Amino acid sequence: MKQDPIVKFDSVVKRFGNFVAVERADFEIAKGEFLAIMGSSGCGKTTTLRMLAGLEDPTEGDIYLDGQKVNGRPTWERDTPMVWQSLALFPFLTVQENVEFSLKMRGVGRRVRRERARKWLDKMQITEFADRNINQLSGGQRQRVALARSLVTEPKILLLDEPLSALDAHLKVRMQAVLSNLQKDLGITFVYVTHSLSEAFSMADRVVIMSRGRIEQIGAPEEIYHKPHNRFVAEFLGSANIFEGVLRDKPNGRWRTEVAGGQTLLDGASVSGRTAGQRISFIVGAENMDLHATGNEAEGLSATVVGEEFVGASAILFLETETGQELKVQKSHAELRAFDTHPGARLRVSWKPESCHVLPGE
């Protein structure tokens, strides 16, 4: 039996004057889910979070928490604490006093709030810093204090607004593990706003991708990565090659498709409902592209190497076709050593029909 959602956005619109910050948001968040909302600056993700927190009211539509409409209800009545990008810790209080603060505002007695604060300091592995001032802590330690302060009231839902943006790269990875494990252990619903693809895809159960106030796609990270709904999502992810072509004929159940500079085959099932002569857009992941020496003219598209990017155990080769199509090919270093990959070198690039994903929104 499906559980009722802990959060529901029902046709929510937010305007600031004539500017539409959020346009007709309709989605639900399940209890115990880790939901990430992401997009570029100005896409509406933080406004969406602020409406959930009670810091902004919707212009139209309704927001529900645990089945209760909360439009107009002040933030202190919602029990939706937020971990801010700036952390917003009090520099004039000790670590212990920062964590106790929200309990003190609720009238919890001194002994009880000290015990509960100590419990969360222990959970976050920062008990040894209890009597220190905030300015004596590292960035990662401050992050843990902010989390302890938000979780000490044991809320059902925690809101996080780009909480890792100020951390160094190695600290971000460590804090991602802390947040992910903490959310799973506690079973608390996390709503996490970020512009970082790696943060959202490594931690979240589902991801919401927004653009210009609109929700472009909601789904599991793997689903969004392999099957983006439209060109915007594919370009935002940045990991796929986007092609435009014209369907020509369908030999052996596969569509022969003409693209700039050559032809390719598309799996018939992925092009259902289309007819010959129609234009179509599809993507192929950089990891699904194949390289060939220039002597094999039957394979794929001819392209010139533009550059190469090191990404750990593999590398991304950037190429450009004669028609100006930019291509990305991701291979292991050993695979790339079989080819001349210096800038200006000529190679051919191909892909298998089953590696293509047709963009349904195009």
Q: Which of 165, 211, 209, 160 is nearest to 189 (CA)?
A: 160
* Confidence label for 302 from pLDDT (cuts 50, 70 and 90): very high
Query: For 4-17, what is the mean pLDDT?
Result: 96
* Confidence label for 296 from pLDDT (cuts 50, 70 and 90): low
The radius of gyration computed from the CA coordinates of the chain, to the nearest angstrom, equals 25
Answer yes or no: is pLDDT of 42 > 50.
yes
pLDDT in the model for residue 44: 95
Does pTM surpass 0.85? yes
Residue 130: strand, helix, or coil: coil
Please state the length of the chain: 362
The answer to whether residues 53 and 79 touch, using CB atoms and an 8 Å cutoff, is no
Q: Which of 76-85, 252-261, 345-354 has the highest mean pLDDT?
A: 345-354
pLDDT in the model for residue 336: 95
Beta strand pairing status for 254-259 and 326-332? unpaired
Answer yes or no: is pLDDT of 2 > 60.
no
Beta strand pairing status for 254-259 and 240-249? antiparallel
Query: For 292-312, what is the mean pLDDT?
Result: 85
> What is the residue-wise DSSP string for 114-129?
HHHHHHHHHHTT-GGG
pLDDT in the model for residue 254: 86
What angle separates helix 139-151 from helix 110-123, to the nearest 10 degrees? 130
Q: Which of 182, 334, 362, 344 is nearest to 274 (CA)?
A: 362
* Confidence label for 167 from pLDDT (cuts 50, 70 and 90): confident
Query: For 227-247, what is the mean pLDDT?
Result: 93
pLDDT in the model for residue 308: 96
If phi > 0 it is left, if psi is from -120 to 50 it is alpha, else beta; for residue 3 that is beta
List domains and CATH numbers for the chain: 7-231 (3.40.50.300), 232-358 (2.40.50.100)
- The residues near 101 (Cβ < 8 Å, ≥ 6 apart) are 90, 93, 149
> How many Å apart are CA 320 and CA 356, to the nearest integer?
19
DSSP letter, residue 94: B
Q: Which of 107, 220, 326, 31 is nearest to 349 (CA)?
A: 326
Query: For 157-174, what is the mean pLDDT?
Result: 86
Identify the bridge partners of residue 7 per DSSP, sorted by sequence position.
Answer: 29, 65
DSSP letter, residue 133: B
Identify the bridge partners of residue 216 per DSSP, sorted by sequence position.
Answer: none
pLDDT in the model for residue 1: 40
> How many Å apart are CA 216 and CA 25, to the nearest integer?
10
pLDDT in the model for residue 252: 81
> How many Å apart are CA 151 and CA 4, to the nearest integer?
23
Answer yes or no: is pLDDT of 69 > 50.
yes
pLDDT in the model for residue 143: 87
**What is the percent of the chain with per-residue pLDDT over 70, rounded to a whole number?**
98
Q: What is the pLDDT of residues 309-358, one digit of tens each?
A: 998 899 999 999 999 999 999 999 999 999 999 999 999 999 998 899 99
**What is the percent of the chain with per-residue pLDDT over 90, rounded to a whole number?**
69
What stretches of 144-194 adopt beta strand conformation (E)? 157-161, 189-194
Query: For 99-114, what is the mean pLDDT?
Result: 92
Answer yes or no: is pLDDT of 301 > 80.
yes
- Which tokens go with 124? 């976050």
Answer yes or no: is pLDDT of 260 > 80.
yes
Phi, psi dihedral angles at 158 (to 5 degrees):
-125, 130
CA distances from 182 to 34, 178, 190, 324 (A): 11, 6, 10, 47
Query: For 290-319, what is the mean pLDDT?
Result: 88
Mean pLDDT score of the chain: 91
